[in-house]
Structure 1
Amino acid sequence: MRAVVLRSYGPPPQIGVEDVPALSLPPGHVKLRVHAVGFGFPDALQVAGKYQVKPDVPFTPGNETAGVVTEVASDILHIQPGARVLAMASTGGLAEECVVNAANLIPLPDSMSMSAAAGFLVNYGTTYHALVQRANLKAGETLLVLGAAGGVGITAIEIGKALGARVLAAASSDEKLALAKERGADAVFNYTKDTIKSKVMEFTAERGIDVVYDPVGGDYAEQCVRSMAWNGRYLVIGFAGGKIPSIPLNLALLKGCSLVGVFWGAHTRREPEIHAANLKALFQLFEEGRIKPHITEMNGLDSFTQALDLLNGRRSTGKVVIRVASSEE
């Protein structure tokens, strides 16, 4: 069996495609033939040894894994071989086969392709939890999305519009702004050329923004907080800009706004009933055509190096998905 194996965090990381032994199947687990794997900024950070979860090496990266069940452990009765599923594998996805805990499987609707599935759960799950539970975004409110053409940025535009918000999208190039506009943003601007506060005040008629969705961080974070409306909510999504910002807390006082952390992984473990309801809502939005994963697709396990390069260079749009199997089943 072929798999991507990280043998050292580096720098640079020692990683490549290798022939590895076939996987055993412990109780409570199933084996998948892997079709597609979502590969996002957290995965790139993990390979570099910079993510909050740092597995012991050697290991095979890959969390969001879409595939077909080929074998089930003897104690698993509710899943049958041939089922199309999405698995939160944690690690091990970037391989021809993957063994995962049966509790981490999500059945896929027939209407969802493997590549779309691999780019669906983490990004849309994070954003739905952020905007619904953490921000309590209401119809008619204003939403600023940074990194608007990235994996989570596009989902924030789509879900924001589905919830009835007016969406202002910010990105770093004309190509990315065009994509944000295509996905439903009401207005767009380039935050490397225009100041955030001036564009927010123009968009909101000097009122300030109700909710900020910020997966970028860095120097943009304080500019966003300075642009908040009274009772605004600034969502801490991530730090793709590479720098964890320090925000003067007097701004939260003066603006009467909230700085709200969003940790989707912990939410799924601590609030499983809410997570299940969110998944149901997201699949319904997908079936209605109101959300549609935007995929940058790579072919073959060897393309992981290209995927890393795109993510580290911030040149990808939507979710990077590595296609492992050549056809659907």
Structure 2
Amino acid sequence: MTASRRSDIAALQVHRYNETPIIAVDKIPSPTCGPHDVVVAPRAAALHVADLLMMKGEYQVRPELPFVPGMEAAGLVIEVGDQVSHVARGDRVLAMMTQGAIAGAAVVSGAQVTKIPDSMTYSAAAAFGIAYFTAYAALHFRAGLRAGETVLVTGALGGVARAVAQLAAAAGATVLAASRDPEEARSELREHVDEVVDADLDSIAEVVKRRTDGRGADVVVDVVGGPLLGQLVRATAWEGRVVIVGFAAGTPSPIKPGHLLVKNISVSGLQSTDYWRRCPDRVQAALGQLLSLVDAGALSVPEPDEFRLDEIDLAMYAVRASSSRRGVVILIDQDERSPGE
């Protein structure tokens, strides 16, 4: 393990769960690196809806207080465990974690860290890993996407849907995106999708069938849930695959087994973070492929809106109000010498 001098670091900490969480920027000890870990000095950390829910105590994971929020970051490697060989001190990397990203240093399993190309900014990389890995896992791990198929993705203006659209197109698929605001989605996604359809309960199934000459979509990636799911099954082709990624519109409506039976439709769920622990080699391979596509210019990764650490209230408001279609990151100032140097 690379030896380093320990010093305190600045970190955003949640001290009390609340509708308006009690948070502060504190000095905390620099994290300790285990043999399978990497310590990263973030230059930018993403802020997501899931982070806000965790800070309020409403997320599926409820960390012991106080805790440092933030599920992904990008920065420089400052320490490497003895059992980690794919990154080295000084590498520019992205890192995915359950918490701890909004800090001057963060410790994370080596399997969840990968080098980023020189062409990628820290801000873009900080908001890249979870959305694009989730999209990759939905299309390739769960749906087994094949070139020439048609993909329908819901929640078209969200980060995961944007990633699904780009990855499906890169794999040679025809891409349909469903949105409750089709005009804005057409403007935002015109370079990435073949067609935007209205996510209207009464019409989406027929619209998708017309667009596919009556067949329906081969792969449906649903991040919306709610009452739309039943109609998405109707919009699915024979031997189609539906992947449920999230429930942004609430608990999905029940699916009629008969609709699955008559068209041999498969329905699966995706909790992408499970792969971090269970299948680290697959995670590394997927991230490598994704970042190769970035470096080749095959993926158009938006630059997120940036906020300083002392602007955390504004950043949280931007996430809550969905005022940023590009994502939100917190810039983390580092001294000329990174922590541990």
User: TM-score, normalised on structure 1?
Assistant: 0.88
Between the aligned partners of 2:125 and 2:230, the Cα distance in structure 1 is 35
- Confirm or deny: 8 A CA contact 1:294 1:317 kept in the other structure: no
Tell which deviates more after alignment, 315-324 or 124-133. Answer: 315-324
Q: What runs of 5+ residues in structure 1 fail to find an aligned partner? A: none
Alignment match, 2:95: 87
Tell which deviates more after alignment, 96-105 or 289-298. Answer: 96-105
Q: For each residue in 1:154-174, what CA deviation from the matched residue of structure 2 results, as whole angstroms up to 9, or x when unmatched?
A: 111101101111111122333
Between the aligned partners of 1:135 and 1:21, the Cα distance in structure 2 is 43
SS of the residue 2:14 aligns to? strand
CA deviation after TM superposition for structure 1 residue 221, in Å:
1.2
CA deviation after TM superposition for structure 1 residue 200, in Å:
0.7
Alignment match, 1:213: 221
1:16 is matched with which residue: 23, 30, 35?
23
- After superposition, the Cα gap between the structure-2 partners of 1:269 and 1:180, relative to the gap in structure 1 and judged at 3 Å, is same
CA deviation after TM superposition for structure 1 residue 290, in Å:
0.8
Tell which deviates more after alignment, 83-92 or 117-126. Answer: 83-92
Alignment match, 1:189: 197
- After superposition, the Cα gap between the structure-2 partners of 1:80 and 1:269, relative to the gap in structure 1 and judged at 3 Å, is closer
- After superposition, the Cα gap between the structure-2 partners of 1:179 and 1:31, relative to the gap in structure 1 and judged at 3 Å, is same
CA deviation after TM superposition for structure 1 residue 134, in Å:
1.1
- Confirm or deny: 8 A CA contact 2:307 2:315 kept in the other structure: no
Tell which deviates more after alignment, 170-179 or 147-156. Answer: 170-179
Residues 1:25 and 2:28 aligned together: no
- Residue identity (%): 37
> Segments of 4+ in structure 1 off by > 6 A?
326-329
Between the aligned partners of 1:59 and 1:273, the Cα distance in structure 2 is 29
Residues 1:143 and 2:171 aligned together: no
Q: What runs of 5+ residues in structure 2 fail to find an aligned partner? A: 1-8
Opposite residue 41 of structure 1, the aligned amino acid is V
CA deviation after TM superposition for structure 1 residue 280, in Å:
2.2
SS of the residue 1:216 aligns to? coil
User: TM-score, normalised on structure 2?
Assistant: 0.85
Q: For each residue in 1:155-194, what CA deviation from the matched residue of structure 2 results, as whole angstroms up to 9, or x when unmatched?
A: 1110110111111112233323311223x20011332597
Opposite residue 267 of structure 1, the aligned amino acid is Y
2:186 is matched with which residue: 165, 177, 185?
177
RMSD: 2.7
- Confirm or deny: 8 A CA contact 1:177 1:189 kept in the other structure: no
User: Which aligned pairs between 1:78-117 and structure 2 lie closer than 5 A?
Assistant: 80-117=88-125
- Confirm or deny: 8 A CA contact 2:114 2:288 kept in the other structure: no
Aligned pairs, number: 326
CA deviation after TM superposition for structure 1 residue 20, in Å:
2.4
